[in-house]
Amino acid sequence: MENSQFSQWFYAFQQQAKVLNERRLIVLSGEDNWAISLLYSIESFNHYEQSPTNKEWLVYGGNALLEANVAPKNFRQRLGTESNYLVFTSEQLNADAIAALSGTLVGGGILFLLINDMPYTQQSYFYKRFFSLLTDYSQHVVLEQKLLNFPLVKKINNISVRHEINTLDESNSQGFIYGCITQEQVNAVDSIINVVKGKSKRPLVLTADRGRGKSSALAIACAQLLEVAQNDNKLHIVITSADFSSVQVFFKQLAASFPIGEQQGYQFVAFSNIVEFIPIDQLLKLKSKASLLLIDEAATIPVYLLEQLLSHYSRLVFASTIHGYEGAGRGFSLKFKGILQASFPKYCNLHINEPIRWRVGDPLEQLVFDSCLLNAELPKLYKNTYNLSGVKKDNHFELKYFSSEDLLADESLLKQVFAVLVTAHYQTKPSDVQMLLDNEQVQLVCYMSIDGQREQVVAVALLINEGKFNNQGVTEVELNAIKQSKRRLKNHFTPQSLLTHCGIEQAFDYHYIRVMRIAVHPKLQQQGIGTLFLNEISVFAERQGADYLASSFGASKALLSFWFASEFKLVRIGFSKDKASGERSALVLRALSKNVVDELKTINLEFYRSFDYLLVEEYKYLAIDLTLLILKHCPKSLLVELSTLDKANVEAFARGYRQYSTCVFSIHQWLKQQVCYQNISEHVLSILIARVMQKFSINEVCDNYRFTGKKTLEQFLRANIKAAL
């Protein structure tokens, strides 16, 4: 009886959503078997049960009664696809996944959130805020097993509602060329076509929130290019992405826009012209030629791989969602666009605002934006407080700690905090809202500008306790499991890294406070505020009895210089590249208690003892400016005093008396001293380091630094070493 009532109510509820062209949320609060029995009363769900690969339903984080078809680690592979239903269970609720997968729902789609323990859920500050926001939306529904009540679905007038919510009906869409749905989509198609027909080396960056027809615009543009392609000038368009499934909408639209073409596996063939999908790894390996290269969901691809594409192709379109759904999205928005600006100052940038797959003001999109703070805007700076030359001297700054309760009680403060994080740090993502509110080990501190009675957030840091604190540490069993690489503990990144990568046996004997994120308002960067803030954080951590202040981040010259300036010591550089930044991670420590000062010196020395050896292999392709910075901070105690023979060898090479190979070891020892004492220009040092310490071949050095050959390179080395002597 209950299932029958639900089925009838749900049909009317969804039909209304379809008429309004909007997506909605239904929360099913009760036992799992009850919630899933309601799902079975929906006819199409039975098809899912028979075939979990059915694309109409997406189930994330299933349970014993419900098989999932979206693996928690692989939900990003669904980006660019479409679905009608989406199911989440509360046990594995992931804000990143909700933000991403909700975008696959088309107009009339329903997101189900299954919660089998509402009292427990309400202990979560994230959930408390979520359900508080939910009450502001009449379109979303909470159904409780204990007090089941189906809200009335009011009948609506089709025509008046469509007019009121400003959706685009069929007749309106026919007014746009190319079969586009909106004028913004037309503009996008024209811009893509212009990448091929216009001047080369002017990439297009096409961004949009989800559901704006971005992938369809790529396909429509390809169809237009195929239509005018000349037989004597074959067209080969390549589209790449993290996964083929993410370009299904593209190929579906391409077939609709150019029906005389034919899909053959990963290729769409029209006469002798081809539109082909090539995975990013194969594309970089094969370096296939292309009339046009399209990178769909570019934010899912590591920045350093996007850089490689720039060096191989001259006509490119980078299309991506910008709200950080993909995790690396901020890397694309902040870091990659900066790289583009430096290398291709005439690149084009276009953003699509108007939704296509659902109506303007879609209630599910608004709820996701609000709950995940994807629409948080930077606080406007007080005009009397700051000026272009820096912060006024009479302005007062103060470090303040805010608890989860503080953030829950002050939505304006929470939005300020998150806006600074999102706009100033490329790795901020929706799940950070969950972490801010629910991770008890995370502490939020803000640098507040105080001008009279006015306060505002100018910098934000997320700190986490690690190691031994509050008289608690890891057990002997856990420690042994970590040593044997059988286990990784949550919230203990720093001591685990020191133990497993640096061999520091006593790593878990100390209390660390790690700076997970530190971000300064973009308009106040490069003014020393970050350094002031970090010094205040050190005092804050010391008062809590921490032995070390730590941080790990994608290592670049600018970032590492910032931490070096605040007396942090480098203890590790990772061997693999970060997916978001394309950089290797650096681990830095600052001693806060007297009993770890000597130990930190030892850890730092051990890092440098092996660093120049690892430069030949593991660190060979470190950015040269970063390598130079690291070498400059080598402890002086590790510098070898040059013997009489060493000095003679260096001078003999400089004067042309001896060959390079017979003197290179002495030159290596001499060069380490020159780097530390900065006696030579950075440009010359870079070339010397590449040849002498990183052991790049003569051809590689000549190619990278534009020498005509071995003779000119050797003349350069001899002349500059002689000048330094």
What is the SS3 assignment for 14-83?
Answer: HHHHHHHCCCEEEEEECCHHHHHHHHHCCHHHHHHHHCCCCCCEEEECCECCECCCECHHHHHHHCCCCE
pLDDT tens per residue across span 70-79:
888 888 778 7
Q: Where are the alpha helices (DSSP H) in 484-583?
A: 493-500, 529-543, 557-565
Does the structure show a pLDDT above 60 at 581?
Answer: yes
Percent of the chain scoring above 70 in pLDDT: 91
Of 507, 505, 502, 481, the closest CA to residue 492 belongs to 507
- Rounded to 5°, angle at Cα 672 from 668 and 676: 165
**Phi, then psi, of 112 in degrees rounded to 5:** -100, 130
Per-residue pLDDT at 47 exceeds 80: no
- Hey, what long-range contacts does 276-282 have (CB within 8 A, 24 or more apart)? 276/236, 276/237, 276/238, 276/239, 277/238, 277/239, 277/240, 277/241, 277/244, 277/247, 277/251, 278/238, 278/239, 278/240, 279/240, 279/241, 279/243, 279/244, 280/240, 280/241, 280/242, 280/305
Give the least confident one: 39-43, 48-52, 139-143, 511-515.
Answer: 48-52
Tell me: pLDDT of 370 over 70. yes
User: What is the reported pLDDT for 363?
Assistant: 97
pLDDT at site 165: 46
pLDDT tens digit string along 303-333?
778 888 998 999 999 998 776 444 444 556 6
pTM: 0.84
pLDDT surpasses 50 at 68 = yes
For 84, the token pair is: 């009608």
- Least confident range from 145-159, 386-400, 510-524, 613-627: namely 386-400
Q: 540-572 burial, b if ≥16 CB within 10 A, otherwise e?
A: bbeeeebbbbbbbbbbbeebbebbbebebbbbb
Measured CA to CA in angstroms, residue 410 lies from 129, 291, 413 at distances of 11, 53, 5
Cα Rg for the chain, rounded, in angstroms? 29
**Torsion sign, CA atoms 98, 99, 104, 110:** positive
Averaged pLDDT score across all residues of the chain:
88
Q: What pLDDT does residue 381 have? A: 81
pLDDT at residue number 580: 57
- Model confidence band, residue 480 (pLDDT cutoffs 50, 70, 90): confident
- Enumerate the domain spans of the chain: 2-160, 179-352, 386-617, 639-724
pLDDT at 246 over 90: no
- The rounded distance, in Å, linking the Cα atoms of 604 and 66 is 51
The token duo for 654 is: 């400089």
Cβ-based neighbour number of residue 259 at 10 Å = 10
For residue 157, is pLDDT > 80? no
Q: Is the pLDDT of residue 150 over 80?
A: yes
Three-state SS for 664-718 is HHHHHHHHHHHHHHCCCCHHHHHHHHHHHHCCCCHHHHHHHHCCCCHHHHHHHHH
pLDDT at 105 over 70: yes
What is the band of 53 on the pLDDT scale with cuts at 50, 70, 90?
A: low
Candidate from 165-169, 258-262, 381-385 with smallest mean pLDDT:
165-169
Q: Is the pLDDT of residue 679 over 90?
A: no
Contacts of 579 (CB under 8 A, 6+ apart): 302, 328
CATH architecture of 2-160: 3-Layer(aba) Sandwich (3.40)
Assess whether the region 179-352 and the region 386-617 belong to the same CATH fold: no
Superfamily of the domain at 386-617: Gcn5-related N-acetyltransferase (GNAT) (3.40.630.30)
Q: Is the pLDDT of residue 200 over 80?
A: yes
Convert the pLDDT of each residue in 622-647 to its tens digit.
989 999 999 999 999 999 899 999 99
What pLDDT is recorded for position 375?
79
Q: For residue 712, is pLDDT > 80?
A: yes
Sole residue written with tokens 């770890």? 596
Kindly state the percentage of the chain with pLDDT values over 90: 63
Task: Compute the distance between CA of residue 164 and CA of residue 360 in angstroms, rounded to an integer.
Answer: 11
Lowest mean pLDDT among 140-144, 503-507, 523-527, 688-692: 523-527
Name the token pair of 8. Answer: 């009838």
Q: What is the pLDDT of residue 388?
A: 38
What is the average pLDDT across 349-364? 93
235-249, 418-432, 459-473, 693-707: range with lowest mean pLDDT: 418-432
To which CATH superfamily is domain 179-352 assigned?
Answer: P-loop containing nucleotide triphosphate hydrolases (3.40.50.300)
Secondary structure (DSSP) of 300-328: GS-HHHHHHHHHH-SSEEEEEE-SSTTSS
